[in-house]
Structure 1
Amino acid sequence: MTTTARPGDRRRPHVPRDPVEDHTLRMAQARREVLAEHTGVVPRHVTGHTFDPAVLKGNIENFIGVAQVPIGLAGPLRVNGEHARGDFLVPLATTEGTLVASYNRGMRLLTESGGVTTTVVEESMQRGPVFSFADARQARDFGGWVEEHFEDIRRAAEATTRHGRLLGIGQYQVGPLRYLRFNYATGDAAGQNLTGRATRAACEWIRTACPGGPAYLLSGNVDTDKKHSQINTLLTRGRRVVAEAVLDRHALRELMGVEAAELYRWRQVTMTGAALAGAAGNGAHAANGLAALFIATGQDVADVAESHASFSYTRLLDSGDYYWSITLPALIVATRGGGTGLPTQRECLELLGCLGDGKAGRLAEICAATVLAGEVSLAAAVVGDDWVDAHERLGRNRA
């Protein structure tokens, strides 16, 4: 355990660490004691967990306990997907009152209207290095060299991974800089670490094989990791998933108290508002459902920054029913690796039948269907003027 303070630094607290066995109850308690001594607050609730801290290696450093986020259940949600088929009960981890109730209401409407059809359109994960040259012509010629040597670059990248496949390399030039966007299929992993390792190996091969040994940075920010971007919207990051349904007009009136024509007029107004604001899409609140699902199932919650971009497309049908689709162009989910194997998160994935190999497409479709349920429910609440009343009734913790 290392707790040595620097000379003359008596008041500065130092977090205890053990270089050999740091993920233990003993070390967690030692850190909590330092925390209590420094702040005067004795942490009690964070200690309440049921697993051995040893399972956390690779997931967290300086472990002291857990953040207990309540989990609610919404559904059943009927999904008619290529990977997810059936009625699902969806665990949502949140502290926002009304969220589970709202999604539950949307799921009921979708299910009674025949369910949600889901489609994974394409998938790719990126790492975006940048190569630097003395002038623009050298950078341009380098781009041609990369195209000529793609197969060699692919072999260097794929030698580092069992699951990743290099699909292609996009190229973008600014002055003497040549930005490359390596696009990978990553199986059931989210793939940020996989693509980083593979692209570094590829760039080292390029630096060695290319005349002049061009200098590079592994990330030139064109991969837009954990940031929304227009390039992700157009070219996909993670999975591009569509969830669509035809809302039965009778169920819409009975369950939501609104007419299809009212919803359509609302869509016209909000489409204009989203464009005016320069929003990341024209959807209402995809981040709500995605964040709750991500926390419950062990996804990297920061990926909501990319995943929440959403585009609604609707039609008022001649029958009087209402077609509604939501497209998520940058949905990043995993069913292996990261936090998906931790005890709580593993259980939630098991509840959805989404744990392990071959299940990432299934989870992506459930996520998209859940987002659509939230869009439908919130829209009906706004149009029907139930939104504020619902939050007053269910969403205010006055404790």
Structure 2
Amino acid sequence: MNNDSRIPRSKENDYSKELATMRRNFIKEKTGEALDYTGQYTIDESVLPGNIENFIGIVQMPVGVAGPIRINGEHAQGDFYVPLATTEGTLVASYSRGMRVISECGGVTTTVVEQFMQRAPAFLFDNAREAREFGNWVKENFESIKAAAETTTSVGKLKHIHQWSVARSRYLRFNYTTGDAAGQNMVGKATLAACEWIKRNYPGGANYLLSGNMDTDKKHSHLNMLHSRGKRVIAEVVIKKEILREVMGVDTKMLAKATVLANTGALMAGAAYNGPHAANGIAALFIATGQDEANVVESHAGLFSHELLDNGDLYLAVTLPSLIVATFGGGTGLPTQRECLNMLGCVGKGKADKLAEIVAATVLAGDISLGCAVISGDWVSSHDALGRNRG
């Protein structure tokens, strides 16, 4: 590669207005695009190290606010206005409509059941029996392995290790709690220290690959439905039949029947989520609050549950078993993302569970709204009026 093709960089200070301008000029020369709008932004480049490389500007995305939604959580309590970053018309209006139903029914109850973040190394041996013996040794030496892992972090705590034997390999899945951070990098560093300790102390040594891909990092897996990755969060509400009819124009019995049909369709399709659209609200909230957007693929998976009660009211619940959110690290410290977190009261120590409860409540609101829109026929007409289909 000749020097004319290399993206401009500086070893002294690569995060400056001058370098960003130089790179935009380089792109204009190579592609013809001047990046005039991308080059207009208000944040200080000095806050960007650790978040981006080869910085050229900011892609601006519309942010709307939905709500209020009443949440009766253990961590999120009260009425919340939720920032949603999206380019899909009707989305914010739809979530607001679902939030109105929830709030008029007394609010949504949210519960964080458990939380873990994983790294899953694979160890290779000469045969299956050696791999089995290694697994027994790991169980017997868990406390020493835990101590080695936790030398790398003051926040991460190793809670347990799942194990599986395949051929002559032994897969270990280290499960940590990670405080207010999502923790993928944290647990990677901790697990490396643990594996090196194992390699030094296991009789005869042990060869390993730091990730055998059973951590399912940024990939959906059924394993996470059973063994939580991130936070397992449940949002539940009893929808009063009179309120659903008044606000949505839909009968609770019809919504229950439609949910049965949707469950069957999702089962036949092998979908990761059987509700209407968990990914929409999660992605919009993730972008607004500086979450790692790739984690939407894990976080959106879950279960949408319903039960028609004897009095005609409808119990609805969303279970998200692998919701990965953070209020510390990553993009959460960037200026606009921090403002959105502050809207939710989720800046500061000990706020990650609160954010998780807000996300789950938002998902439930969106599912109620879209489920009713499909039944009532508003789905297409609202997109024609407000969204992408407008002429």
TM-score by length of 1: 0.97
| Identity fraction in percent | 60
1:212 shift after superposition:
1.5
Amino acid at match of 1:292: A
Residue deviations 1:175-221 (CA, integer Å, cap 9, x gap): 01100000000000001000000000000000000012111010000
Whole-angstrom CA distance in 1 between matches of 2:153 and 2:316: 39
Other-structure match for 2:131: 139
How many matched pairs? Answer: 391
Instruction: Point out where structure 1 has 5 or more consecutive residues left out of the alignment.
Output: 1-5
Whole-angstrom CA distance in 1 between matches of 2:184 and 2:232: 17
Amino acid at match of 1:55: V
Other-structure match for 2:360: 368
Residue deviations 1:64-113 (CA, integer Å, cap 9, x gap): 00110100000000000000000000000000111101101000000001
Other-structure match for 1:335: 327
1:398 shift after superposition:
5.4
Whole-angstrom CA distance in 2 between matches of 1:238 and 1:369: 17
Whole-angstrom CA distance in 2 between matches of 1:83 and 1:48: 38
- 1:63-212 equivalences under 5 Å are 63-212=55-204
Please say if 1:55 is aligned against 2:52: no
Residue deviations 1:112-140 (CA, integer Å, cap 9, x gap): 01100000011100000000111111101
Other-structure match for 1:217: 209
Other-structure match for 2:280: 288
Whole-angstrom CA distance in 2 between matches of 1:310 and 1:350: 27
1:20 shift after superposition:
1.8
Q: Is the 8 Å Cα contact of residues 76 and 357 (structure 2) preserved in structure 1?
A: yes
Whole-angstrom CA distance in 2 between matches of 1:340 and 1:37: 34
Whole-angstrom CA distance in 1 between matches of 2:274 and 2:169: 34
Other-structure match for 1:23: 15
Whole-angstrom CA distance in 2 between matches of 1:187 and 1:339: 16
1:374 shift after superposition:
0.4
Whole-angstrom CA distance in 2 between matches of 1:264 and 1:397: 29
SS in 2 for 1:159: helix
Whole-angstrom CA distance in 2 between matches of 1:396 and 1:345: 26
- 1:357-396 equivalences under 5 Å are 357-396=349-388
Instruction: Give 2:343's match in structure 1, choosing from 351, 357, 369.
Output: 351
Other-structure match for 2:248: 256
1:281 shift after superposition:
2.4
Please say if 1:232 is aligned against 2:224: yes
Residue deviations 1:248-276 (CA, integer Å, cap 9, x gap): 11110010000000001101111111110
Q: Is the 8 Å Cα contact of residues 247 and 322 (structure 1) preserved in structure 2?
A: yes
SS in 2 for 1:320: coil
Q: Is the 8 Å Cα contact of residues 383 and 389 (structure 2) preserved in structure 1?
A: no
Amino acid at match of 2:348: G
Whole-angstrom CA distance in 2 between matches of 1:71 and 1:118: 25
TM-score by length of 2: 0.99
Other-structure match for 2:32: 40
1:358 shift after superposition:
0.3
1:62 shift after superposition:
0.5
Amino acid at match of 1:101: A
SS in 2 for 1:391: helix
